[in-house]
A and B are shown apart, each in its own frame.
Chain A
Amino acid sequence: MSDDHSGHLKLRYHPGLPLSTGKTFMWLFLSTEIMFFAGLIGTYIVLRFGAPAWPLPHDVHLSEPIGAFNTFVLICSSVSVVLALEAARVNKAGQAKFWILVTLVLGTVFLGVKAYEYQAKFSHGIYPQKPHSLIYEKADLPYASRVRQSLESHQLRLSKYESPTEHEQSQLNITDTLLRHFARPVELSAAKSGDMQGQLALDRMAVTIMPREGQMVLEQERLGAEQDQLETRQTEIDAQLQSLREKQSQLQKQKAAGAAASDPSPVDATGDQTGAVGSDPTANAEGADQEIDELDAKISQYAAESAQIQGRLKAVSILSNADHGLNEKYHWLHLPMVIPGGNMWASTYFLLTGFHAVHVIVGLIVFALFLFIRLDVNRIGSIENIGLYWHFVDLVWIFLFPLLYLF
């Protein structure tokens, strides 16, 4: 840097650093960017490792292979920028433009994959903020109420259709069954008991809506056991009902016979029978009436239990058919789901990838503008600067990929 002015007083501008102003400021900018992203990543690490719970990648629909693919795309785009710079250095403007175009395409692919990933999260109700987010931290009473409300609003919406299609009708049936035999009972038992039974019901509700790793196996076993239990109870009740109904019809016949006997004008068809049973006194009719009433009460009691069991069996079959959870099987349900730490995860994920994506977009805008100018040897300063920026974007992703996808 120290140069000797040999004798004559011809003063000349001398830059403080032996590089162009553009490059100096690009590096200054990048050093602030290093601190910016270091701050973000540091915050993420504190929140990630200090959090009492953190979702597994699978719980929040993060796909590691897709993330790895995006890393590969960005590395390729970094190479293509370098090749563009090398082409411009030897004044091959066309080649340079080709490599810039390749970079632009690769950057767009990266953003496209990112958009696809965001879409996968949004469609599963994973948003960084509350109005849209379906993530709940724990299975508690407010959560159960929210599930019930959600089902009720589905029911309301679906029952408004005047002539529902088959699909809508089945949706309505599912909603009805789940509401009556799944959500409301769980909420009720949680509200009433306040002990482990209520909490267990809540936990099972959360698992059937969105199971996390390995939880569904246990839940399937429980549902299977419950189904067996309900079915044996059902056959018992059926047998009971059968015998009660037989008894009832017998009594009714007797009563009819008694009535026919006492009746002064018997019908022709029952005429033979009246002769057979006619010996019974009419005083028995009152006792028979009372017995029939008792039987009716019993039958209606059993029938109510049977209907309840039928409904619960329907709900159980819906729940056990959805072996990846209700939200996965019936996508339209969009029920609130329990992901411990999910909200914090969503906030950090969308913040980090969002800031990175903004940087990618800025880079792509510059590359798009570069397509309109001749990229010969006079432009190598500009290409080098945007290259530095683009490599930095790549660098940030190199750290974000393992931190967000693999940790």
Chain B
Amino acid sequence: MSEHQSVETDTHNTGDGHESHEHHGGSIKTYLLVFVALCLLTTASFLTYTDFWRDHFSPQAGWAFMMAVSCTKALLVVLFFMHLLYEANWKYVLTIPSIFMSIFLVCMLIPDVGLRMNRVSEERRRHMAVEQKEPSNIEAQPTKNSEEPSAPAKNPE
């Protein structure tokens, strides 16, 4: 790392721009390894689509798993393909603030999600696609999928 940095500052001192960056970045082999890792991770997140996953894990576990996989993939892309692993310290100046901004943004949205998930008006609950198990609300339920014994007797007049 320190070697790379010194190489960089040297090139800039000679005013060469980016002409002699050839030592800067991974080898082809590294890139191919990263590529294989990315493919494997994509397959891994695709696992949540299978019946096996649906039978054994909750959807929340699936979401957490997929986000973990996505973050790992993003990290691989940023570190190797975007060469951030090999860059000098300036990378922190640019990436850390924007990452913090994004994290803050998402954190600020969490209460919003929580609030809307836990407080549902009667009108909204009535039209939920997935039935919510709410004992106080049973009388509003039979609109969906409920077996009415007299159902087939619907003759037009």
Using CB atoms and an 8 Å cutoff, list the residues of chain A in contact with chain B: 1, 3, 12-15, 17-20, 23, 27-28, 30-32, 34-35, 38-39, 42-43, 45-46, 49-55, 64, 68, 71-72, 75-76, 78-79, 81-83, 85-86, 89-90, 137-138, 180-181, 184-185, 188-189, 196-197, 199-201, 203-204, 212, 215, 218, 222-223, 225-226, 229, 308-309, 312, 340-341, 377-378, 380-381, 384, 387-388, 391-392, 394-395, 398-399, 401-402, 406-407
Contact = CB atoms under 8 A, between A and B. Distances in A.
Contact of B74 (A378, A398, A406): A398
Given A31-B95, A82-B31, A406 B70 contact: no
7 contacts: A18-B88, A27-B94, A52-B120, A184-B156, A309-B155, A377-B19, A406-B66
A-B residue pairs, 9 tightest by C-beta = A50-B116, A185-B156, A38-B102, A53-B129, A31-B98, A226-B152, A402-B66, A52-B124, A340-B129
Contacts of B70: 398-399, 401-402
B1 interface: no
Interface string B32-57: 10110011001101101100000000
Interface of B: 8-9, 12-13, 15, 17-19, 21-22, 25, 28, 31-32, 34-35, 38-39, 42-43, 45-46, 48-49, 62-63, 66-67, 69-70, 73-74, 77-78, 81-83, 87-88, 90, 93-95, 97-99, 101-102, 105-106, 109, 112-113, 115-117, 120, 124-125, 127-130, 142-145, 147-148, 150-157
B129 A34 contact: no
A12 B156 contact: no
B148 to A, nearest CB: 6
Contacts of B130: 53
Given A341-B129, A394-B77, A17 B152 contact: no
Contacts of B153: 226, 229
Given A203-B144, A308-B155, A407-B66, A35 B21 contact: no
A308 B152 CA distance: 16
B116 A49 contact: yes
A196 B148 contact: yes
A75 B39 contact: yes
Contacts of B62: 406
Contact of B128 (A19, A52, A312): A52
B38 to A, nearest CB: 5
